[in-house]
Amino acid sequence: MSRDGFGSKLGIIAAAAGSAVGLGNIYRFPCELGNNGGGAFLLVYLLIVLCLGVPVMLSEFIIGRRAQKNPIGAFKMLRPRSGWPVIGYMGVLCAFIIMAFYSTVAGWTLEYIVKAIGNQFHGKELSVIEQEFADFHDMGWKNVLWQAVFIFLTGFVVFKGVADGIEKYAKILMPVLVAILVVLGLRAVTLPGAKEGLTFLFKPDFSKITGSVLISALGQAFFSLSMGMGVLITYGSYIQKDDNLTTTALSVTLSDTLIAVLAGVVIFPAAFSFGVQPTAGMGLVFNTLPMIFNQMAGGYFFCIIFFVLLAVAALTSTISLLEVIVAYFVEELRMSRRWATVIASLGCMAIGVFASLSLKSDTGFTIAGLSFFDSLDFISAKVLLPIGALFIVIFVGWVMGKKTFNEEITNGGKLKLSIKSVIFFIIRYLAPLAIAVIFITGFV
Ligand code: PFF
């Protein structure tokens, strides 16, 4: 089957970085860090990214490029008549789950663009901004509407196959996002009381490292790098035979991590300065940021540009999620791209409505004490992604084996890569062990 449509001339670094960089970096990372002991979390997170980021990402690329198929088709082709495709099915399920709650937050970015244009944060106290955020959640229908708009936008791009254009766009816009984060960071660290925030972020208190911090950092690393569910297998299948997989994985991992840390440097000093609790979760970002803009020259414009960029960053991530489902529908279930996109989008919306509505203060829609929204987040980031990543590295390390690995990573011997044995060692032994140990400590 020809693999045109979405990915034919895709700039793979831009596409993979577009998938990786998103709300996970700017919204979810500060939430997790704030709830998991600050600096201790950052340290564990960076260690995990350093040791596992590139090897796991490479494993996905290798599976995808070797098979030239969606995650389910890939496992079916590489190991026919085996249980391996289950990992692919899990990935598609995970894409639905992540889309459902991710699109809720993505929808908020649209609401905040409108608010920013209307200059609605101007001169307001923190308590007012916080109250308005809470009121917004209580207007369930408005959340659902923005969410629907966002899913529609994603579906439109995935269907039209203009992702190529979007990714080019993202290539320009992402550096602008970095630049704005740097400007915001400079403002944040010079606010009164900012030092406490920097201490919270960068000074690890080792006594805070618990099993739950470990699993949260592992989940956040996989979530942020879009690993463990087949997005990168799907993108790997669009990678040209002469692209360098290792440098691609390295650049994506580095840029994603840089943006997350930058977001931390913006959020925590400002949060401490304004009196937002580091455990405030969603409010940490959505309430702290407008406060920073209020304290900046040109804050009105920065605020609009920032939320537009955040929405674009979220869009390049939701595109990758929807693409996993659509690629499966088209290639395995033989649907037309149009119907595949419509059905996948409606499916995400159907679950997503409940995610959005579960955040209303009066719904009481909880599972084991977590809102439905948080349950989806938990099950995907802390359960499905680690399990997916575990089996992906086992597949490359033990099932595909060293010869195939070397072939793929050197493009059939054309590239020299002195550390390939080290990477293979990590994929075969260290990564499975580390993931399994963290997973078990996290839950036991
Ligand atoms: N990596 C994205 C982010 O950090 O916002 C979210 C994401 C996209 C997670 C795709 C998982 C995924 F497969």
Q: How many residues does the chain have?
A: 444
Query: What's the start-to-end Cα distance of the chain, in Å?
Result: 45
Look at ligand 1, atom 10, and give the residue with the nearest C-alpha: 226
Domain range for 358: 9-443
Show the CA angle centred on residue 242, arms to residues 165 and 421, nearest 5°. 120
Ligand 1 centre to CA of 122 (Å) is 32
Read off φ and ψ for residue 35, nearest 5 degrees: -85, -10
Is residue 403 in some structural domain? yes
Q: Which two tokens stand for residue 405?
A: 């690995």
The finding on whether 345 has its CB within 6 A of some atom of ligand 1 is no
Q: How far apart are CA 307 and CA 26, in angstroms?
A: 11
Is residue 253 in some structural domain? yes
Ligand 1 centre to CA of 314 (Å) is 9
Q: What is the pTM of this model?
A: 0.95
The finding on whether 316 has its CB within 6 A of some atom of ligand 1 is no
Name the one residue in this structure whose structure tokens are 């699993």: 215
Ligand 1 centre to CA of 57 (Å) is 13
Task: Report the CATH number at residue 418.
Answer: 1.20.1740
The finding on whether 358 has its CB within 6 A of some atom of ligand 1 is no
Is residue 99 in some structural domain? yes
Question: Which residues partner with 371 through β-bridges?
Answer: 366
Rounded-to-5 percentages of helix, strand, coil across the chain: 75, 0, 20
Is residue 401 in some structural domain? yes
Atom of ligand 1 lying closest to residue 313 CA: 5
pLDDT by residue (tens digit) across 317-364?
Answer: 999 999 999 999 999 999 999 999 999 999 999 999 999 999 988 876
Look at ligand 1, atom 11, and give the residue with the nearest C-alpha: 226
Q: How far apart are CA 439 and CA 361, in angstroms?
A: 32
Ligand 1 centre to CA of 18 (Å) is 9
Is residue 269 in some structural domain? yes
Ligand 1 centre to CA of 229 (Å) is 10
State which of 45, 257, 320, 328 you would mutate to test the pocket of ligand 1, scoring each by most atoms of that ligand within 8 A of its C-beta.
Answer: 320
The finding on whether 224 has its CB within 6 A of some atom of ligand 1 is yes
Is residue 288 in some structural domain? yes
Atom of ligand 1 lying closest to residue 224 CA: 4
Residue 319 near residue 166 (C-beta atoms within 8 A): yes
Q: How far apart are CA 135 and CA 141, in angstroms?
A: 12
Atom of ligand 1 lying closest to residue 380 CA: 11
Is residue 106 in some structural domain? yes
The finding on whether 71 has its CB within 6 A of some atom of ligand 1 is no
Assign residue 203 a region: left if phi > 0, alpha if psi is -120 to 50, beta otherwise?
Answer: beta
Number of domains in the chain: 1
CA 155 to chain centre: 18
pLDDT for the residue numbered 184: 95
Ligand 1 centre to CA of 220 (Å) is 10
Is residue 163 in some structural domain? yes
**DSSP type of residue 206:** G
The parts of the chain modelled with pLDDT lower than 70 are 1-10, 162-165, 364
The finding on whether 229 has its CB within 6 A of some atom of ligand 1 is yes
For 414, counting Cβ atoms within 10 Å of its Cβ (0-12 exposed, 13-18 middle, 19+ buried), the class is exposed
Ligand 1 centre to CA of 20 (Å) is 5
State which of 94, 224, 255, 328 you would mutate to test the pocket of ligand 1, scoring each by most atoms of that ligand within 8 A of its C-beta.
Answer: 224
Q: How far apart are CA 175 and CA 110, in angstroms?
A: 21
The finding on whether 226 has its CB within 6 A of some atom of ligand 1 is yes
